[in-house]
Amino acid sequence: MVYLYFGALIFFVFGAKIRAFVTGENPSQTAYSLSMSICDGFSPLPKSSNFGQKTKKISAPKYIRMKYLLGVTLDTLNTWFQERGQPRFRAGQIFDWLYKKEISDIMQMSNLSIDLRYALDKEWKAHGIELVKIQTSDDQQTYKFLWQLHDGKRVESVLIIGENRDTQEAQRRTVCVSSQVGCPARCAFCASGREGLLRNLEPDEIIAQVYEINRWLQKERGERVSHIVYMGMGEPFRNYEAVLQSIRTMIAPDMMGISQRRITVSTVGVVEGIQRLASEDLKVNLVLSLHAPNQKLRQKIIPYAREYELQSILEAMYDYAAKTKRDITFEYTLLAGINDAPEHAHELVELLKNKQCSVNLIPYNPVAGLKLEKPSHEAIRGFRKILDAGNIISTCRYTKGDDIAAACGQLALQKS
């Protein structure tokens, strides 16, 4: 009996020390848990342990996101209110304050009881971005907004005031939104992807860029946002679900109510993203960042282009046009000595001939640290003349906002 007692004691002591070594636990606590696990019929060593290696200490996340109202569906809010014994119409009241009255402070929603406002404010905020600064171009036609996110990261978006081809409005007020922090495409001419992709934006972070710019625009100019382009930082189809949710929020009549025909999504050519968008019940405009007339040159300008063959991308684009009855556009950034020669223009004509599309030529906008140059006016005119002769519809984008680094390709990661 004595021998059994000492044998059991030695087993527990050494067993506790071994488990403490494996798991990093306190030996005295391990002895107790060891005895309990044996009594319960379980193995004294945890199944996930790697014997002889100390487990890594997992730190808690630095930032914890709250719930955000922008982008949340009416059904989700209805459920929240019903779980707290509130009538369903409360969700409609929130939508009315948020989207019609454009009041984002829950404590100002005066037709809710003060107790209900406190309960809401404890769990929800309108969105998770904060305006850091606004830069205005010399001609006061371009405004660049710098936003700080809940985790301290920053993104930029741009408001562009321009002529409107729609005769009902004298001007169009376009917001260029970001969909990611950084960008995975790493286009040779673009500042956004120089540090790669840091993270995706959440739906509220995308929607809030338009929402807050719209509020600012009404206050400063008595006007509203008319158009939205997903051409800021990031590749929209690499954040598909959040981008789709933001689009649905912007077009919903009881939310932001913007016509989907005034929304444009730009991609470097993520085939599955193009195909998924074609299967949605949407008719937004689709733009391909082409920038070269062949696969070999395109891969040099857009490293991400190695993921997909150009022909596969074009097939997906044409399929999108057929399903949605929307014309498609190809963006082509002209880089001096790289893709602006007459032979490139002729090759582009061959690539796109007999297709219902247009080409948007974009003279390169300088980015600090990049040894690239804008083509001469003669080269740009010559390139476009060849496209015209080949019956390719083309436009040449007038550079706006380059004095505040807000032009195409100039949006960059900013440190807090």
Helix (H, G, I), strand (E, B) or coil at 182: strand
The answer to whether 141 and 400 are in contact (CB under 8 A) is yes
DSSP result, 276-338: HHHHSS---EEEEE--SSSHHHHHHH-GGGGGS-HHHHHHHHHHHHHHHT--EEEEEEE-TTT
Helices 310-324 and 271-279: crossing angle, nearest 10°?
A: 10
Instruction: Note if 156 is an active site residue.
Output: yes
Tell me whether strands 197-200 and 180-182 are parallel, antiparallel or unpaired. Answer: antiparallel
Closest CA to 277 of 333, 312, 316, 219: 316
Side-chain-side CA neighbours of residue 403 (13 Å): 10
Instruction: DSSP letter for 189, please.
Output: T
Taking alpha carbons only, the member of 161, 153, 175, 222 closest to residue 416 is 153
Instruction: Specify whether 190 is catalytic.
Output: no
Which of 176, 183, 190, 408 is an active site residue? 408
- In the set 156, 202, 205, 331, the catalytic residue is 156
Give the separation between CA 187 and CA 370, rounded to whole angstroms: 11
384, 361 Cβ separation under 8 angstroms: yes
- Give the Cα separation of 213 and 211 in Å (integer): 6
Q: How far apart are the C-alpha atoms of 183 and 413, rounded to whole Å? A: 10
- Say how far apart CA 205 and CA 373 lie, in whole Å: 34
Active site residues: 156, 408
